[in-house]
Amino acid sequence: MLYSWLSFLNSCYLWWHVPGESRVSILDSTLREGEQTPGVVFSEEWRVRIAKALSDIGVGMIEVGDPSVAPDIKSAIKKIVKLKKDGEIRSHIVVHSRAVKQDLENAASLEPDRVAVFYGVSDLHLKHKHRKTREEALSIIAEMVSFAKSHGVAVRFTAEDASRADLGYLIEVVKTAYEAGADRVSIADTVGVFTPDRAREVFAKVKAAVPGVGLDIHAHNDFGMAVANSLAAVEGGADVVHTTVNGLGERAGITPLQVFAAAYYYHKGVKLVELEKLPEITAMVEAASGITLMPTYPIVGENAFTHKAGVHQAGVLANPETYEPIPPEVVGRTRDFSLDKYSGRKAIQHRLEKLGVSLQPEALDKVVEEVKRMNAPRLRDEDLLEIVEKVSGVRYRAIVNRHIEAYIWLKVANNVYTTSVARRVAALKNVVSVSEITGEYDIVVKLVAENTEELNQAIESIRQIKGVASTFTSIVLKELPTISMQTRA
């Protein structure tokens, strides 16, 4: 009960990281930028599930798509907005739109919390895409922002390709959008050319020139710097960071939610979302998008908390901080060791102890030698036990039966002499042992059969014995070696 209250308070706190606050919050664009990943389309059902999951982990804003792109996107946005109105989603809902009146009307008609109007502001975009001068663009931006605003929604203006725009002109753009009614402006690094220093500088200068405006960083990952640039933009004055789950998006994608949130926690000590739920949402978006992460992916990749080199493994066994930036549990992960020729005595001994095997130093040395000779990738527990068996001559692996073994628990009817029933059972074919016992049952019988048909017949024969009131059958799946078996070998 206490836990669910704490969890509820935590999610309120996370959700409250919304614009207008001086704190940083996340805008997740998996449903808009993420669906711009080549090969990805989300079904309506996935869109709604992803939106709920993002809200549940405490994302401040969710960019749900552009309804003018396709009918299914519009229909899913309607469902998501309804869930927001019904209180099932707490994040602010943001709808994307070109600076086109018809598109803006379409976006605003869905009654999201905010409409985001984008327009390219670099000379490249102005000349080749929009075929407009800088001055013409300023008046289009002012007109479209105030048009959107007149529909009763909050408005963000996105300065597309801002990182390649002239900084003086970018500041004019931000002022224009702000004065026309956009309380937030997204400074987009559309082709990922920011460096952390430049991102920090641009955000600081824009913020100094237009102090009242809230600033978003939308960082593409073309040179692998999206997370670093987003952190630097925050230092410069951004208070909303755009992310996608698993870093989906155009080309190399944008800032991955999981990596940014974990890095922010490491560097600033603040949890922007419920970090321990990150593996869950990672798997959800992998399933929805059909794009699986490479094992070395930070934070949520399979190897992110797995140690291989013996020196690392020994260090981690002494103190995990030696080779881990944050404890895996913080982000819902667990630590693992990959054993192969790179492992040393400590890691191998540790794994064997976990398997319940304790070796003398000389035997351990032999096992380590054998592991190093093998040149095999990633030993499974079964492989390691096989090596130990080879070295020691002792059987450690579970014995999987080729025939069927079962235990039959019998209840004897009232006023029937238990031993007379036990004797009759003992005389049957397939019976290995019969014991009279205390407790809920009176007799336990061990049976061995070649197949299920034979087992079934044996159980039937037991049931037909006069005085047997009821039976309960347990089939043996695996038999483990006992200390006495190990000593015998």
Ligand X SMILES: O=C(O)CCC(=O)C(=O)O
Ligand Y SMILES: CC(=O)SCCNC(=O)CCNC(=O)[C@H](O)C(C)(C)COP(=O)(O)OP(=O)(O)OC[C@H]1O[C@@H](n2cnc3c(N)ncnc32)[C@H](O)[C@@H]1OP(=O)(O)O
Sheet holding 443-449, edge to edge: 431-436, 443-449, 404-412, 468-475
- Mask: binding to ligand Y, 400-439, rule CB under 6 A, as x and -? ----------------------------------------
Q: Measured from the CB atom, is 116 or 263 closer to ligand Y?
A: 116
Binding-site partner at residue 68 among ligand X, ligand Y, Mg ion, none, CB < 5 to 8 Å by type: ligand Y
User: What's the closest the beta carbon of residue 367 comes to ligand Y, in angstroms?
Assistant: 56
Q: Token match 């940014």: residue?
A: 260
Residue 13 to residue 206: CA distance in whole angstroms: 29
Our measurement of the distance from residue 445's CA atom to the centroid of its chain's CA atoms, rounded to an integer in Å, reads 48
Residue 122 to residue 10: CA distance in whole angstroms: 41
CA atoms within 13 A on the CB side of 222: 11
Total interface residues for ligand X by CB under 6 A: 12
Residue 306 labelled as part of a binding site: no
> b vs e for 213-223, b when ≥16 Cβ sit within 10 Å of the residue's Cβ?
bbbbbbbbbbe
| Beta-carbon contacts of residue 58 (< 8 Å; ≥ 6 apart) | 10, 11, 13, 14, 15, 17, 272, 273, 274
Residue 190 interacts with ligand Y (CB under 6 A)? Answer: yes
Q: Of 17, 128, 312, 403, which residue is the catalytic one?
A: 312
Which backbone phi and psi does 184 adopt, to 5 degrees?
Answer: -135, 150
User: What's the closest the beta carbon of residue 195 comes to ligand X, in angstroms?
Assistant: 17
Residue 369 to residue 344: CA distance in whole angstroms: 10
Binding-site partner at residue 292 among ligand X, ligand Y, Mg ion, none, CB < 5 to 8 Å by type: none
Residue 118 interacts with ligand Y (CB under 6 A)? Answer: yes
Binding-site partner at residue 147 among ligand X, ligand Y, Mg ion, none, CB < 5 to 8 Å by type: none
Residues 21-40 that bind Mg ion (CB under 5 A): 33
Residue 353 to residue 423: CA distance in whole angstroms: 44
User: What's the closest the beta carbon of residue 204 comes to ligand X, in angstroms?
Assistant: 19
Cα–Cα distances in angstroms (integers) from residue 138 to residues 107, 160, 193, 203, in the given order = 22, 13, 24, 20
Residue 88 to residue 277: CA distance in whole angstroms: 18
Residue 267 labelled as part of a binding site: no
Binding-site partner at residue 317 among Mg ion, ligand X, ligand Y, none, CB < 5 to 8 Å by type: none
- Find the binder of ligand Y among 69, 209, 448, 465 (CB under 6 A): 69
Residue 258 interacts with ligand X (CB under 6 A)? Answer: no
Binding-site partner at residue 100 among ligand X, Mg ion, ligand Y, none, CB < 5 to 8 Å by type: ligand Y
- Find the binder of ligand X among 58, 59, 80, 118 (CB under 6 A): 118
Q: Which two tokens stand for residue 169?
A: 């002109």
- Mask: binding to ligand X, 171-190, rule CB under 6 A, as x and -? ---------------x-x-x
In sequence order, what are the beta bridge partners of 446?
407, 433
Residue 156 labelled as part of a binding site: yes
- Find the binder of ligand Y among 98, 277, 335, 411 (CB under 6 A): 98
Q: Token match 């527990």: residue?
A: 381
Residue 32 labelled as part of a binding site: yes
Q: What is the CA radius of gyration of the chain?
A: 32
> b vs e for 307-316, b when ≥16 Cβ sit within 10 Å of the residue's Cβ?
bbebebbbbb
Mark whether 151 is an active-site residue: no
Total interface residues for ligand Y by CB under 6 A: 14
Contact stretch for ligand Y (CB under 6 A) within 94-102, 164-172, 320-328, 440-448: 94-102
Residue 220 labelled as part of a binding site: yes
Residue 243 interacts with ligand Y (CB under 6 A)? Answer: no
Residues 253-312 that bind ligand Y (CB under 6 A): none
Residue 126 interacts with ligand Y (CB under 6 A)? Answer: no
Residue 31 to residue 50: CA distance in whole angstroms: 8
Alpha helices in 336-406 (DSSP H): 345-354, 361-374, 381-392
Residues annotated within the binding site for Mg(2+) are 33, 218, 220
Residues annotated within the binding site are 32-33, 96, 156, 190, 218, 220
Residues that bind Mg ion (CB under 5 A): 33
Residues that bind ligand Y (CB under 6 A): 36, 66, 68-69, 98-100, 118-119, 129-130, 160, 190, 250
Residues that bind ligand X (CB under 6 A): 33, 116, 118, 158, 160, 186, 188, 190, 216, 218, 220, 242
**Where in the sequence numbering do the catalytic residues fall?**
312
Residues annotated within the binding site for 2-oxoglutarate are 32, 96, 156, 190
